[in-house]
Amino acid sequence: MGVSFSLARPKAQTSSIRIKVSVSGASIFLYTGRSIQTADWDKKKCFVRSYAGRATTTRIIKYLKELELQILDLLDLYMNGKPRLTFLELQERLNELLDNPQSTFSKTKNRSTITKETLEAFTELFIKDCQSGVRLSPKRQRIKPKSLHTYNTTMVYLKRFQEQMGQVLELSEFNQKNIDQFSDYLIIDCDLAMNTHAKVMMDLLQIIKYAVQLKKLPPSRLVELKFDTRREETDSIYLTEAEIEQLLSIRDFTDPVHEHVRDVFVLGCFTGMRFSDYTTLDPAAIRNNRLEFVQKKTGAKVTIPIHPMVRQILEKYKYVLPEVPPNNEFNRIIKLVGEQLPALHVSFVKQITYQRERKQVQKMKYEFLQTHTARRSFCSNEYLRGTDPMVIMAISGHKSHKSFMRYIKVSGEQFADKLEQIWAERG
């Protein structure tokens, strides 16, 4: 008979703390509702490290020690009380003490009783099945790495939400109140924009759908639960052809990586390729003055004619593009490069929803540069040039006119200029 503590995820950076209650040949595991950095865990003592003057760990240590004493009192009632507690009563009292709706499992000498599965545990299974190919996309293809990344991000948000709430969510009892609380956490505490919030909620919906598919939840649950997956159209910049030419004319670089980023970005501006495609272009894709490749995101094959500026960049590197940093670092560098252009030192106002309020974010235009600006610039410039939208879509790989039009970031003034040009050509 005794009480001990352990980490639920000892290899992670942050982990919730579990408590193990050993009694009469059985082990009952419960969550304490507290989490710490795993670096603050003493593996030998199986307890939180004590640091002088650190209030956070001091409070957790005090809580765990008080909790241990309360559990030992319950064990004494189980062993020596008059009347004595039954084993089931002990379990119930422990769960009430911790405000913990279930233990993850309890093992006895003669039997093993599986209790309710947590949402966190099932989400881990969901991600694992996506990685291994057990769960496939609606097109019966393996889940793309980008989707796996977002699923892992959603998992992090779920863990932090549980830690803040001090509770463990059960899969079988996951309800609308939990969804609404999680939604509030994402919007208010995490300050996620509306579209980012929608992506996390869409991931959560996929997790619940998979639980229904595996018959862990009844199909009626999908009817009962409502997930807020609303998205909004946001203002995003694109570069005009003149601005792209100015970008390409920059000659002074203190770091060669910055020049590589600039060149690869400009290539994206004249091909409409996604970051995942224009940063991994295989020289074998170049044939007959065209680029022919299969898009990583959609799996669709596209054929793109080589623009003179694209050929200039390809020849510069002898048709083998240099390696560039990953997305986040690429975004940082392209902003630094764009800052060198006086044309991009103009104010740009982006409207976006934060904390359920439509807000205006005002910055210099170069501060909004990112990898996707290249693809958006290609679509917008060709559209302004009068290129048939169906032709642009065939190059960019857009499947619907609606999704394509999200990329057209042309101002009302530019549309007016275009109409004046059409009138002048008529007459």
Dihedral angle at the C-alpha atoms of 46, 52, 57, 62, nearest 10 degrees? 80
Residues 109 and 157 in one domain: no
Question: Is residue 127 in a domain?
Answer: yes
Domain final position from 71, 86, 114: 114
Question: Is residue 42 in a domain?
Answer: yes
Dihedral angle at the C-alpha atoms of 405, 407, 413, 414, nearest 10 degrees? -100
Q: In this structure, which amino acid lies at residue 101?
A: P
Task: Report helix, strand or coil for 49.
Answer: coil
Spatial contact of 324 and 268, defined as CB atoms under 8 Å apart: no
pLDDT interval class at 85 (50, 70, 90)? confident
How many domains does the chain contain in total? 3
Q: In this structure, which amino acid lies at residue 151?
A: Y
Residues 151 and 193 in one domain: yes
Cα–Cα distance between 231 and 198 in angstroms, integer? 6
Summarize pLDDT for 317-336 with one digit per residue, the tens. Answer: 999 999 999 999 999 999 99
Question: Is residue 63 in a domain?
Answer: yes
Judged against a pLDDT cut of 60, whether residue 108 lies above it is answered with no
Q: Dihedrals φ, ψ of 50, to 5°?
A: -100, 125
Cα–Cα distance between 3 and 271 in angstroms, integer? 63
Query: What pLDDT, on the 0 to 100 scale, is given for residue 324?
Result: 93
Domain final position from 114, 135, 155: 114
Summarize pLDDT for 269-328 with one digit per residue, the tens. Answer: 999 999 989 888 888 898 888 999 988 887 888 899 999 999 999 999 999 999 999 999
Closest CA to 251 of 337, 178, 332, 321: 337
Q: Dihedrals φ, ψ of 37, to 5°?
A: -70, 135
Question: Is residue 231 in a domain?
Answer: no
Distance in Å from the first CA to the final CA of the chain: 96
Q: What angle do CA 349, 351, 355 make, to 5 degrees?
A: 135
Residues 38 and 23 in one domain: yes
CA 16 distance to own-chain centroid: 21
CA 223 distance to own-chain centroid: 25
Cα–Cα distance between 169 and 161 in angstroms, integer? 10
Residues 260 and 351 in one domain: yes
List all residues 6 or more positions away from 234 whose beta carbon is below 8 Å from its beta carbon: 193, 195, 350, 351, 352
Spatial contact of 278 and 374, defined as CB atoms under 8 Å apart: yes
10 Å CB burial of residue 110 (0-12, 13-18, 19+) is exposed
Residues 134 and 24 in one domain: no
Judged against a pLDDT cut of 60, whether residue 112 lies above it is answered with no
